[in-house]
Structures are given as C-alpha cells and as structure tokens.
C-alpha cells in the first residue's frame, strides 16, 4: 500500500485542527454568549476556559506535527552519524510519510553499498598481505638456492667439472624461474591499469589456437600427455587482442602441464554460438581441492595450496582471467566425472569502427 505524502498528512491534520478549533469556538458561543439585551457578556472564568481549550488544541496539534516530522529526522540524523563513524550495519526503519520512505529506501541502499565496499576493501587488504607474503616466499626460496650454490662454487666445494656444471645449471634454472616470476608480476600489475593498451584485431582465432597447440605439442609428448584437438579447419574471425589471448591460452596450457601427472589426457576445443565463441581446455589429471576453487583465479593460488618453488608462480590463472575480462568475456572452471574444464567465453563484439 502506497504511503500518503507528508504534505497531504499535514494538510489533513491542519484541517482537523481548524475544525476542532471551530468546534471549541461554537461551544463557547453557545454557552457563553447571551443576547437578551443585545449585550454580549463574557465572564472571566469562561474566557479562561475558552483560552485553555484553544491552547490544548494548539499543543496537541504541535506535538502531533513534531512527532510526524522531528522524530524521523532525529532517526535519520542518528543513522547518518553512525554511517560517518563507519557503522554500516545499521538500517533505517521508520514509519512516516511517503517522502521519508523514499529517503529511507535510498539511505539503506547507500549503506548497503558502503558496507559491501568496506568488506571488499578488507578482503583486498587481506589478499594483498597474503600476496606479499607469498611473493616473498617465492622469491626467497630460489634466491637462497642461488646464493648457496654460488657460495659453494666460490669456496671450491665443486671439486670436479661435473659438479661445477651441475651447480651452474641449477643456478641458471633458478634464475630463469625468478625472471619468469618477476615478468608475470609485472604483467599482472600492468593488466590492472585502466589505461592498459588493449588492441583488438579482426583475425582468425582458430588459427591462433592451432599455433599455440603446435607450440606445446612437444612438451605434451615429453610428459606422455594424450592430446585431442577439436578445432574446425574453417576460419573463425573474431575481434580480439592476439597477443593477450595467446598469453591467456598459453597460461592455461602451461598450468595443465605443470599441475598434472604424466599420462594425462587433455583436449582443446573451439566452438561458435550465435552470440559468443567458447574455448575449452579439459583434462583428467589432478583434481582441484574444493577449498581452492572459489579463489582459484586470485593471485598466488596453486591447486595444491602449497608454496613449492618451481611448482608454478600461482599467477598464470589470474593473468588469464584478467585478459579474458579485458575482452568482456568470462573464464570459469567446471569439474565433473573426474575431469576439469576451463572455459573461455568471448562475446562477439561490435567492431570498433561501428561503435
């Protein structure tokens, strides 16, 4: 039921006030006025009674009006003060006119958004702290290894050429890992920028997938992966940034290589629908723990939930997710029957020159 406006309520109360005042005047005239000798006689006592009734009428009307206006305003002022102090859990619940109900509705919606923003900021702060701790760990471990083997070489602990070559190779591999980690951190930071240079082109995305699959083919064979490609020979033209999309899909395939055991079956598929295209990467390798799934696309998250140097940086999926987001698409994970499927869904965008 729609509430009446405050103006209408005050108008009705004013009319009632005037009617009640008029009734008091009529009663006073009926009992007090005597016109036998065309003289009007008013005793002091009855005059005081008349004034008392008028005063009571005015007081009742004033109190009622104050209740309808000042009490909701006091409640709103108290809630605003609480909001200024960061107390976003409070909500307005006032029974007043239509105007106050509108204020209440918008106030509660605003507080709800502020509360959500506060919770999101707290989550981001915790995520940042966790990310810094993970980054420190991931950098410290290989750097410590490099320092240790470099010191061993310096002190002459490698007494033959074979040991020295092994130490040098290990130092080189760890330095490659550190370089790769720093590059991925830089990529992630730049992708978060609002002015990141996203440059879509109208190109054949099917050919891009075939090129990426060919690049990883030898690595799949080395790990005894069974590979299945379901990509049509025909062209599939789509507006996308080829450099960024190559990185996103490569990250997903690298993730499959690192986190699955030898003998895993993997399938790369491309499908077209009326409003979008889908790229899916499915494998039957290691399962992802349920506790990790909700945060899988956050930074420094690994499927085994452990921090092992050399087991991946934990940034690949986060970078892939941000790249897909730049294309206004979605990256999702679905698990069923012992298989996990990463799905990239890209909407068919309007060409830039037609917007």
pLDDT, tens digit, 9 for 90 and up, residues 138-160: 778 888 889 998 988 888 887 88
The tokens for 113 are: 């958004």
Residue 118 is predicted with a pLDDT of: 83
Question: Among the CATH numbers 2.40.50.60, 2.60.40.10, 3.40.30.10, 3.30.565.10, which is that of 201-354?
Answer: 3.30.565.10
- Cα–Cα distance for residue pair 90/69, rounded to 1 Å: 21
- What kind of fold does domain 126-191 have according to CATH? Helix Hairpins (1.10.287)
CA-angle at 243, arms to 301 and 190, nearest 5°: 55
- Cα–Cα distance for residue pair 251/319, rounded to 1 Å: 8
Give tens-digit pLDDT for 19-42: 666 666 666 566 555 444 444 555
CA-angle at 309, arms to 306 and 315, nearest 5°: 75
Length reported for the chain: 355
pLDDT value at 101 more than 90: no
Compute the 3-state secondary structure of the chain and give helix, strand, coil in percent, each to the nearest 5.
Answer: 60, 15, 30
Handedness of CA 82, 83, 89, 90 (dihedral sign): positive
pLDDT value at 347 more than 90: yes
Of 12-16, 33-37, 113-117, minimum mean pLDDT range: 33-37
Mean pLDDT of 38-66: 64
More confident residue, 140 or 48: 140
**How many helices (H) does the chain have, and how many strands (E)?**
7, 7
95 by DSSP, 3-state: which?
Answer: coil
- Cα–Cα distance for residue pair 227/264, rounded to 1 Å: 9
Give the burial class of 353: count Cβ atoms within 10 A of its Cβ; 0-12 exposed, 13-18 middle, 19 or more buried. Answer: exposed
């Amino acid at each position: 039921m729609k509430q009446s406006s405050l103006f209408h309520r005050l108008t009705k109360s004013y009319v009632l006030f005037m009617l009640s005042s008029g009734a008091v005047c009529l009663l006073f005239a009926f009992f007090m006025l005597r016109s036998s000798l065309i003289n009007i006689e008013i005793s002091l006592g009855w005059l005081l009674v008349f004034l008392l009734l008028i005063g009571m009428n005015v007081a009742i009307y004033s109190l009622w009006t104050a209740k309808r206006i000042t009490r909701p305003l006091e409640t709103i002022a108290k809630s605003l003060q609480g909001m200024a102090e960061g107390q976003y859990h409070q909500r307005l619940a006032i029974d007043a006119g239509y105007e106050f109900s509108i204020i209440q509705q918008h106030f509660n919606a605003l507080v709800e958004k502020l509360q959500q923003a506060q919770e999101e900021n707290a989550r981001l702060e915790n995520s940042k702290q966790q990310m810094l701790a993970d980054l420190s760990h991931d950098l410290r471990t290989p750097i410590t290894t490099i320092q240790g083997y470099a010191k061993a070489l310096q002190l002459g602990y490698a007494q033959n050429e074979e040991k020295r070559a092994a130490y040098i190779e290990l130092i080189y591999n760890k330095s490659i890992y550190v370089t790769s980690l720093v590059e991925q951190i830089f990529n992630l930071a730049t992708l978060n920028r609002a002015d990141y240079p996203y440059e879509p082109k109208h190109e054949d995305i099917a050919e891009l997938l075939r090129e990426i699959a060919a690049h990883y083919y030898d690595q799949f064979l080395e790990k005894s992966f069974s590979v299945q490609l379901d990509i049509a020979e025909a062209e599939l033209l789509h507006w996308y940034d080829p450099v960024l999309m190559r990185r996103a899909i490569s990250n997903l395939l690298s993730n499959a290589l690192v986190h699955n055991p030898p003998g895993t079956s993997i399938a790369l598929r491309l499908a077209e629908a009326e409003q979008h295209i889908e790229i899916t990467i499915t494998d039957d390798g290691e399962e992802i723990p349920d506790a990790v799934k909700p945060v899988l696309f956050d930074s420094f998250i690994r499927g085994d939930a452990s921090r092992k140097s050399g087991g991946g940086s934990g940034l690949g999926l986060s970078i892939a997710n941000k790249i897909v987001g730049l294309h206004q698409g979605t990256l999702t994970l679905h698990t069923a029957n012992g298989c996990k499927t990463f799905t990239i869904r890209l909407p068919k965008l309007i060409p830039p020159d037609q917007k």
